[in-house]
Amino acid sequence: RPGDVVVLNDPYDGGTHINDVTLTMPVFHEDMLIGFAVSRGHWMDLGGGGPGGQGFGTHVAGEGLRLPPLKLYRNYEVDPDLLEILLRNTRTPHYIRGDLQAHMGALLAAEDELQATARKYGRATLLQGMDDMIRYTERIVRAEIENIPDGVYEGADYADSDGITDAKVWARVKLTVSGSNLHVDFAGSDPQVAGAINSPFANTTAAVYTA
Mean pLDDT within 2-20: 92
Q: State the pLDDT at residue 56.
A: 74
Domain residue extents for the chain: 5-137, 148-210
Top-confidence residue, 61 or 103 = 103
Looking at 11-164, list the stretches that DSSP marks H as alpha helix, in order from N- to C-terminal side. Answer: 80-88, 93-121, 123-146
Report d(CA 185, CA 188) in Å as an integer.
9
**Weakest-pLDDT range from 96-100, 157-161, 201-205:** 201-205
Model pLDDT for residues 139-190, shown as the tens digit of each residue: 999 999 999 999 999 999 999 999 899 999 999 999 999 999 999 999 999 9
Question: What DSSP letter does each residue of 180-204 carry, written as one string?
Answer: TEEEEE-TTS----SSTT---HHHH
Say what the pTM is.
0.87
pLDDT digits (tens, 9 = 90+) for 30-64: 999 999 999 999 999 998 887 776 777 788 888 89
Asked if residue 99 lies in contact with residue 39, where contact means CB atoms within 8 angstroms, the answer is no
